[in-house]
Structure 1
Amino acid sequence: MLPTNITFSFLLASAIVLARTGFEYEGVTVETVDANGKTKTVVVKRDIPPECKKVSIDNTTVWTGNYANPKVPEACKSTYVHTVGKLLPIQLHEDIMTYGELEVLAFMKQMQNDDSMMLIDGRKQEWYDYRTIPGAVNMPFHHFKERKSFEFEFERSLKMLGVKRKKDGTHDFSHVKTVVIFCNGPWCSQSVAMIQALLEIGYPAEKISWYRGGMESWLVAGMTSTRE
């Protein structure tokens, strides 16, 4: 496995290449498990309907197109509800990288051939079951934040992350996975709560990256999700 700083440099370089080549429209092929436990193959990409590519980009169309412009096809319209939450800073920790959509795609592409990498949805299971990023593993944040109340779930998650228990009861982080964690959006603190809990138990910060935009930014960008 590559050292974390080299891995990030590789992913950053990959993201730059992706941006230049329009790779977000070609996508990354991943395997995901649906709510019924069935495994299926999904191409994760920007799902922009062909008719939307002909829509003009201007203030009236983009920002009020849902209501004011009858020429915009229904397939091109999206509506998201504004809700409570607290906007989070770009950087959580000096050793934790903050990702955008292309960095997540680059990570997912490398992850397909590297089982030491894991994309984690830190939201509660009902949110994960409703809609998530294909290929993401669900590890609810409260299993980490409230680990004394969810001892079984916490220990199971640690095992999935490659954390081992030493004979003296302390944790061995020498072979942990490199992870990217996300939740609902830049106003959602669930992924942050999970990251803070991981840092509290000694998980190496350099092994953690954070997709700040989460599902909100993912969907606004027109990216593939598990909900068809």
Structure 2
Amino acid sequence: MKKIILTSLLTSLLLSASDLQSIGVEVTYTDSNDDEKNIVIKRETPDNCKSVKFSPKNILGGNLVDEKVPQNCKKTFITYLGKISPIKFSPNIETYGEVEVLDFIDKAKDDENMLLVDSRTVDWFLESTIPSAINIPFIYLNKGQYPDDFLDALETIGVEVTKDGYDFANAKELLLFCNGVWCGQSPLSMKNLISIGYPEEKLKWYRGGIQSWLSLGLPVIKPN
């Protein structure tokens, strides 16, 4: 009986994940003209990409994909950059993949205590980011370097500064990301937060970041 219940639960979870990928998650954002817009976050597949044969030659050609694959079916990335991060930043911090990010975004629409945080500097954020993300640059979490921005960041994530230090009673659940598995900005954000006592169980990490997000055909936006 227990096995049947567990199997049923697993099937339900798999169907839920599949629905998120195929139906998407709708979010609202403000663009650079201060206009409110909606976007559905789901994989974008150009029509001419749907006919690409899933084969070793096409998918893993000499230049990663065969030269005959249509240009708009490909993504170009710099591969030799930064330092590769381990899969786990800390035993107490969950590492997320894209389906978990979608689930987090979906839940955060009804929960103001959940924040998707782009840890990159402002210029990177303004170029493009994941829909619904807010920008808290990793440098702003260094209290010695940017004290005013540090205090603003703490207020945003629900941390109160007291005479004895910090009060984390209302600290928000954060999902942090940056450029990719080679990017050190979100790890630095987590390191700085942990150094002041931020509860690790309230931190989540999207290790793949923007590069993995784009590689799977998921959309980005240019925020205001």
* TM-score normalised by the chain length of structure 2: 0.87
Q: Distance in 1 between matches of 2:147 and 2:11?
A: 39
Deviations 1:64-94 (A, max 9, x none): 3787433x22321221122321111111111
Q: Which amino acid aligns with 2:121?
A: K
Q: Distance in 2 between matches of 1:197 and 1:39?
A: 33
Q: Which amino acid aligns with 1:215?
A: I
Q: Distance in 2 between matches of 1:96 and 1:85?
A: 22
* Superposed displacement of residue 50, structure 1: 2.5
**Does the residue aligned with 2:60 lie in a helix, a strand or coil?**
helix
Q: Which amino acid aligns with 2:189?
A: M
Q: Distance in 2 between matches of 1:138 and 1:41?
A: 19
**Does the residue aligned with 2:120 lie in a helix, a strand or coil?**
coil
Hey, what does 2:15 align to over in structure 1? 17
Hey, what does 1:103 align to over in structure 2? 100
Q: Distance in 1 between matches of 2:158 and 2:174?
A: 11
Q: Distance in 1 between matches of 2:80 and 2:67?
A: 25
Q: Which amino acid aligns with 1:54?
A: S
Hey, what does 2:147 align to over in structure 1? 151
Q: Distance in 2 between matches of 1:85 and 1:41?
A: 34
Hey, what does 1:184 align to over in structure 2? 179
Hey, what does 1:8 align to over in structure 2? none
Find the partner of 1:199 among 183, 194, 201.
194
Hey, what does 2:219 align to over in structure 1? 224
Hey, what does 2:51 align to over in structure 1? 54
Q: Distance in 2 between matches of 1:18 and 1:79?
A: 31
Hey, what does 2:5 align to over in structure 1? none
Q: Distance in 1 between matches of 2:34 and 2:193?
A: 28
**Does the residue aligned with 2:181 lie in a helix, a strand or coil?**
coil
- Residues 186 and 36 of structure 1, relative CA distance in 2, 3 Å threshold: same
Larger Rg: 2
Q: Distance in 2 between matches of 1:94 and 1:67?
A: 36
- Residues 36 and 86 of structure 1, relative CA distance in 2, 3 Å threshold: same
State how 1:55-134 maps to structure 2 within 5 Å: 55-64=52-61, 68-70=66-68, 72-134=69-131
Between 168-177 and 31-40, the greater mean CA deviation after superposition:
31-40
Given the alignment of the two structures, is residue 26 of structure 1 paired with residue 23 of structure 2, yes or no? yes
Contact 1:15 1:102 in 2 (8 A): no
Hey, what does 2:168 align to over in structure 1? 173
**Does the residue aligned with 2:37 lie in a helix, a strand or coil?**
strand
- Residues 97 and 15 of structure 1, relative CA distance in 2, 3 Å threshold: farther
Q: Distance in 2 between matches of 1:81 and 1:14?
A: 38
Deviations 1:151-177 (A, max 9, x none): 1111111101011122x1511100111
**Unpaired runs of at least 5, structure 1:** 1-11
Given the alignment of the two structures, is residue 164 of structure 1 paired with residue 191 of structure 2, yes or no? no
- Residues 131 and 15 of structure 1, relative CA distance in 2, 3 Å threshold: farther
Contact 2:20 2:103 in 1 (8 A): no
Equivalenced residue count is: 212
Q: Which amino acid aligns with 1:150?
A: Y
- Residues 39 and 210 of structure 1, relative CA distance in 2, 3 Å threshold: same
- Residues 14 and 156 of structure 1, relative CA distance in 2, 3 Å threshold: farther
